[in-house]
Each structure stands twice: as structure tokens, then as C-alpha cells.
Amino acid sequence: MEYEDKTGRPSKPPSPKQNVRKNLDFEPLSTTALILEDRPANLPAKPAEEAQKHRQQYEEMVVQAKKRELKEAQRRKKQLEERCRVEESIGNAVLTWNNEILPNWETMWCSRKVRDLWWQGIPPSVRGKVWSLAIGNELNITHELFDICLARAKERWRSLSTGGSEVESEDAGFSAADREASLELIKLDISRTFPNLCIFQQGGPYHDMLHSILGAYTCYRPDVGYVQGMSFIAAVLILNLDTADAFIAFSNLLNKPCQMAFFRVDHGLMLTYFAAFEVFFEENLPKLFAHFKKNNLTPDIYLIDWIFTLYSKSLPLDLACRIWDVFCRDGEEFLFRTALGILKLFEDILTKMDFIHMAQFLTRLPEDLPAEELFASIATIQMQSRNKKWAQVLTALQKDSREMEKGSPSLRH
């Protein structure tokens, strides 16, 4: 809208600066000080008593503000001291790992001192090295084998993009449609891997590395192929290792009995793992176990996602890496111990929920889950039932399962 002067002719509107200058006479320095302002000239002046009361109120406000500032300054100081303490602790741990433990890995890795250090979390700068050593390389995969698998994967991508259908002898048992579906799923899954980090998506710095590892694995293990969830495991390894070493760790990790059972979707073995988990669930958290049973909340509803991605999708990344630290030390047992630690941490909340709310809560855990609280909860979980440890319980259940299969006519035919 145009402004008009007294003669009715259009004129320029006043500039923002002019408006500000015009209002400055009436604007106090802060909203807190408004109470001290005299009333505008066109209103009656404040009575002396009211002015005195406002002065007292203002002084009280200033005192309270100073208290808040002091409290905030103390909080910041405490935060800074804690950060310095953590950084010093990490620095000392790095020296211990690099100078004492890693050079003497074979003799030291299972010592009490190293196990205690391990529980506290492996420093990020040595994490990849420790994980590689702990996971091992039973498959004897070399960097050269990775290069061969990667070259084969790239050739397959080219073939699919040009509409080729040649089948290599190693893949003769797997249809072109299966291989194409696997490669398409990789592309889709990469875009959904740690989306908040924006480093694995198309154009991100780690996109090609993740694509390479997953593509190479489908060539290395065409019998397994690509399964949803693998991208999260590969991504966590990429953040801590170079590409070839990440592939070696990835392939060996997926070759462990628990991971192989889940990624090959061996229903019988998966049910055995769930049954073993429930033995320790009932032992450690009988009240919550009964509540889950009453509501028909079975372990597969929440455990599958946790196990498939080794908690990397369900927990904050820093916390997931700490879970991985101890998983590399203790093996599959720790994955189920962690699950019980999570259930114990939220036991009071979960016992008040129905089936739907429990399932929703466990499939989308709180994002601000505190690491120390979770590890304190995990520490209280006893992985022993009637003097039997995890491995013994699992073996006994596997044996029972096999005997049931042998004895059941319906299963034989």
C-alpha cells in the first residue's frame, strides 16, 4: 500500500530505521526492566507506593536472574570438567591399548585387566583394530579375494544395467531374477542406512564403500545373498575400518552361528535361540516375563530387528558401538544379555503397557537412552540358569529340537 502526504500525493513509506529511532524513546533495555518504566505522558503517573513495590519486584527479579546465571555457570563448569575427565580417560586407554594390549594380543586379550577395559568401551581410534582381532578371520579372506568379488559384482551390475543375462558357473543355482532382486534391495537399503548421518546415501562419502562391500558379499556368498539389515552392520564396520578390512570382518561376522541362523532365515534354529533367550528372561525378570506371556508378546517381535542389525538401527550409534565392543569380546551371548538389560531398564514402564504399546515401544526405543544406565542394567543380568550357561542351554535346546524332528512322523514326511 502506498503512503500519501497531507496533499494526497503518494509518498515513500518511512524506512525501518526511522521507525526504530521513533520507538527508541519508549523501548526499555530489557523486558525485565519494563516494570521500572514510568507510564506514558498521556496516563496518570504511578503512585509512590506502586513505584516502590515495582522497584522491589525488579530487585527480586535481578537476584533470581543472578542465581540462575550462577547455577548455569556451575553446570557448564561441571560439564567441562566431566568432558576433560572423559577425554583424559580415553587418552590413557588409547596408550594402554596401543602400547600394552595390541602388541601382546594373544596373551593379553582374555586377561581380567583387558576385559575390564573392554567393558568401559574401546577408544574409537583403536576400535577397528580390536574388532578385527576379536572377530578373527577363520574364512582366511584376503584383500585379493575382496578385489575379485568386487570386480565380479561390478561386472554383474554392468550386465544387469545393459540387460545381459549371462550366468557364471558359481551362480548357476541362483536365478538372474534373484540376483537382480538382491542388487535392487542393496540400492534401496543403502538409502535407508543411518539416514540422519547423510554419509551413506547417494553422493555421500561412504556410499560407494558400502555398495562395494554389500555387492562383493553377494558374490562371495551367493547362497546367502543380500538380506535386509546387513547394510547397518557393514556401515558400522566402514566407520571403523578401511574397505577391504571391513569386508573381511563383515564376512566373518556373518559366518558366526547366530548371524548365519538369522540371515539364512533358519526358522528352526531361530526358534531355538528365542527359546534359550526366554529361559534367561524368566530367570532374570520373572514378573515382566509373565506380563509378556499374558499379553502374547513373543521374542521375535522385538528381537529380530535387534539381532539382525546388532542394535545399530535400534540404539544411538555411539551406544551401539559400545554394545559391539563387548559383543566382540563375549560373542552372541552378549546380544541376548543386552536385550535383557534393555527390558530390565524399562521394566516398570513395560509392565503398565498392553501388547500394542509394548511392541511399539520395543521397536522404537528412546533416542536419548543413557549408555551408563544401560550398561549398569546389563551388568545385573545373570546368564546362568540352574547352573547352566548360555552355550549349554542353547546346545540342550538344539538337541531337544533335533530329537523332536526325528521322532515326529509329520516332520519326517
Question: What's the confidence (pLDDT) of residue 88?
Answer: 75
Instruction: Please give the residue that has the higher pLDDT: either 34 or 269.
Output: 269
Average pLDDT, the chain: 86
Question: What's the confidence (pLDDT) of residue 164?
Answer: 56
Mean pLDDT confidence for 187-202: 91
* Under 8 Å between Cβ of 131 and 242: no
Residue 10's H or E segment, with its range, is strand 10-11
Instruction: Please give the residue that has the higher pLDDT: either 11 or 382.
Output: 382
How far is 197 from 34, CA to CA, in rounded Å? 45
The label of the residue with cell 569386508 reads: 247
Instruction: Please give the residue that has the higher pLDDT: either 401 or 260.
Output: 260
The DSSP line for 197-234 is T-SSSTTSTTHHHHHHHHHHHHHH-TTT---TTHHHHH
* Under 8 Å between Cβ of 365 and 158: no
Q: CA 141: distance to chain centroid?
A: 28
Structure confidence by residue, pLDDT tens digits, 277-329: 999 999 999 999 999 999 999 999 999 999 999 999 999 999 999 999 999 99
For the cut 70, the answer to whether the pLDDT of residue 210 exceeds it is: yes
Structure confidence by residue, pLDDT tens digits, 355-411: 999 999 999 999 999 999 999 999 999 999 989 999 999 999 999 888 777 765 544
Question: What's the confidence (pLDDT) of residue 84?
Answer: 81
Identify the weakest region by mean pLDDT among 30-34, 146-150, 189-193.
30-34
Question: What's the confidence (pLDDT) of residue 404?
Answer: 79
Q: CA 380: distance to chain centroid?
A: 22
The DSSP line for 41-55 is TTSPPPPHHHHHHHH
Instruction: Give alpha helix (H) positions in 36-123.
Output: 48-96, 105-108, 112-119
Mean pLDDT confidence for 58-78: 85
How far is 311 from 362, CA to CA, in rounded Å? 12
